Structure 1
Amino acid sequence: MLISCSLLVSIALASLQVVVSQEINVTDTIINNAVADSIDLTVLEFFPEVMAEIEGAYEAVSRRDGAQRARRQIPTPNNIVDAHAHVVPAWYKNLYPSIGGLPVPDWTMDDQLAFMSGQGIERAIFAFSTPGPNVFVGRKARTIALARLLNEQAAAYCRAFPDRFNFYAQVPLPYTQEALREAQYAMNHLGAVGIWVQSNIEGTYLGHPSFKSFFETINSWAGRQIVYIHPAVPVIKVGNRLIDANPTPYITGRIEFYFETARTLMDLTLTQTIHNFTNIHYVIPHVGGAYPSTMDRILKSFPDIYDSTFQIYSTRFWWDSAGPTYHHQVAGLLGYNIPKSQLLYGTDFPYAPLAPQAGSLLAVKNSPLFTAEEKTAIFRTNAENLFGDKINW
């Protein structure tokens, strides 16, 4: 029987306090857990730098007194849940300093908390952004080790701020069995609320037969399973090399990412992956990217799955608003009768610049397409319905 993630986090935090009080080395604990899963973290030369950041997050827990905890638990004015946020510790930025033709932004936890306060965000559900663990293409041991470190880092932040953050698990696809093992570890041991995957894995989209066993196994696990799909850099595999597949002179991160979302959603749909595995719910960023404008055109060519597909998009798909998507774009999604109960709020911070954040927030607040109650649902209630007791609200 699976334990709820909120209970797992409480147990983990209590265990952490015991660990801190007994002065047990956090690094040793993480190494021992990895060794138990046949993962060698020392294949990553930056391992000591990562552990310094993780240890620092854990030390923050022991430094907080009761008054500080009480202050953190006061809801922010708008009580907003950000369902699309990222963390970028310095060690990760050094590892992958640019993505999609854009520099990876600087980030600190203080920056994150200040941003949340300024935007009225009480809780953020975050993930490491693209490429996640897929920095070392074709290098299995390093990919598996990096996925574990990303999850341990994310868990450390969540345990330091348990009423402010939750996280999605990183998994080392295309290595299916190791990815499933890592997902179980991250969710059952570290308290992850879902699984993060990117739109293509080394040039292969998510509906490919090689990923069938991954989705099939996740689908078999008890309780609602949540998969968060993030756009990746488009590539084409030529022999043993991956070639940048952006066919235009425009920056991939500002244009092509939205078509990446469309490609992988089309692939998941036409392969009927989303039809066959009914226990999986999907979080889709940027209210679907370029996909809503193509859905009728694509699906009318496959009439046998037309109605069933829209039923899935309306019940097991959750569409976040990251970016300036509520000025006009969301109307296209609503044109397919996607219920407003499936909409989530997201910021994409810190990858989305701070400058447009206020406008994006106001666009939701001022949208004539939604009632006040529906806006409250977008900002919080819908997220509560999606995640349920995976989060200690």
Structure 2
Amino acid sequence: MSRARRIDTHQHLIPPRYADWMHAEGIRPGGVDLPRWSEGSALRFMDGHGVRTGILSLSTPGVWFGDDAQARRWAREINEYSADLVRRRPDRFGFFATLTLPDVEGAVAEAEYALDELGADGVVLLANNDGRYLGDPGFAPLLELLDRREVTTFVHPGELPAPEVPGIPTFTADFLLDTTRTATSLILSGAIDRHPGIKFILAHAGGFVPYISYRILLTMLSQKSKARQAWTILDQGHQVPKLMEVFKRFYFDIALSASPAALPSLLEVAAPDHITYGSDFPFAPAPAIAFLNRQYEKYPLDATLRNAIDRGNGEALFPRLRA
């Protein structure tokens, strides 16, 4: 069955030296303690949850903390660590290369090195980088490279450029808003139209994007015409399917989002061949992943679509994993 062959596009690694760095800085990603991770623990998790291959990525906070040179050193170390892991276990692991945004020059150089020399399966970008979202014109040189090379680009949320709310961990809602902001930035800036070759995977079912898709459409229209005209166009209805096509350009993983509350919105908005399985291991503990997997497995999906989410859509993004 497809469950035993899943391709997990949202799985993280935490190299030992990077973990030491985070602990020394007192950083708690998403407002939680940095979990323990090892190659062995990842394989045990995968074997117990039907995952054949995990595409590994570094999670927030990434490597940039105001020092470009430091970020470049850490990105190179993490990418070489990841590439070595994949070389030893190419059937079980892939990796998204860590870049250095908002250092654009460093990000372009590291993307080229990781793709050409290390065989990266794609790149990972944080939704915001020092408060700048991915539609920012300053990021155009990197997006042009990723577009030209048709790179699969995993977009993971980071800390919002705003104060935390006491008592609410940032992973609870802020992460979802961060992803929503950057997807909206890509749409409203026109970057999604200018760079059609980039295969953006939005983490956690796109945050709030599916649920507020019509609000985003209204914003798109109000930029081009008066708000009343925008309402009229939406109310007529016949243009709505065409306008909604912009959301079908994104890919969406189902990490921590395969619930009976979230799946209907996602399935209404996403293209069926643009949804991938995701776990969020090890930041999501195995029992939580098992619970959401059960919700997903009992959700009434067509067998063809379930197979596509579990594996087929991942194979299309990463042809080397085709059986």
TM-score normalised by L of structure 1: 0.73
1:78/1:121 contact within 8 Å kept: yes
Name 1:359's counterpart in structure 2. Answer: 291
The answer as to 2:251 corresponding to 1:313 is no
**C-alpha deviation, 1:202, in angstroms:** 1.0
Structure 2: runs of 5+ lacking an equivalent: 225-238
Which protein is bigger by CA-based radius of gyration?
Answer: 1
**C-alpha deviation, 1:219, in angstroms:** 1.6
**C-alpha deviation, 1:76, in angstroms:** 9.6
Cα RMSD after superposing both structures: 2.0
- In 2, Cα distance between equivalents of 1:277 and 1:165: 28
Amino acid at match of 2:289: Q
Amino acid at match of 2:101: L
**C-alpha deviation, 1:274, in angstroms:** 0.4
In structure 2, relative to structure 1, the CA distance for the partners of 1:200 and 1:308 (3 Å cut) is farther
Amino acid at match of 2:79: N
In structure 2, relative to structure 1, the CA distance for the partners of 1:95 and 1:392 (3 Å cut) is farther
- In 1, Cα distance between equivalents of 2:180 and 2:166: 17
Name 2:211's counterpart in structure 1. Answer: 293
Q: Per the alignment, in what secondary structure is the counterpart of residue 17 of structure 2?
A: helix
Name 1:109's counterpart in structure 2. Answer: 39
Name 1:184's counterpart in structure 2. Answer: 112
**C-alpha deviation, 1:151, in angstroms:** 0.3
In structure 2, relative to structure 1, the CA distance for the partners of 1:219 and 1:306 (3 Å cut) is farther
Q: Per the alignment, in what secondary structure is the counterpart of residue 84 of structure 1?
A: strand
In structure 2, relative to structure 1, the CA distance for the partners of 1:308 and 1:213 (3 Å cut) is farther
What pairs up with 1:232-243 in 2 under 5 angstroms? 232-235=158-161
- In 2, Cα distance between equivalents of 1:327 and 1:353: 20
Provide, for residues 187-221 of structure 1, a one-character-per-residue CA deviation record: whole Å limited to 9, x for no partner: 11111011110011111111111112221232223
Amino acid at match of 2:18: Y
Identity of aligned residues (%): 31
Name 1:340's counterpart in structure 2. Answer: 272
Provide, for residues 278-310 of structure 1, a one-character-per-residue CA deviation record: whole Å limited to 9, x for no partner: 111111111111222222112223236976663
* Alignment match of 1:373 (pick from 274, 286, 304): 304
Name the count of aligned residue pairs.
303
- In 2, Cα distance between equivalents of 1:132 and 1:259: 18
Name 2:151's counterpart in structure 1. Answer: 225
The answer as to 2:255 corresponding to 1:322 is yes
Structure 1: runs of 5+ lacking an equivalent: 1-74, 236-243
In structure 2, relative to structure 1, the CA distance for the partners of 1:341 and 1:182 (3 Å cut) is same
- In 2, Cα distance between equivalents of 1:140 and 1:168: 20
Name 2:177's counterpart in structure 1. Answer: 259
Name 1:54's counterpart in structure 2. Answer: none
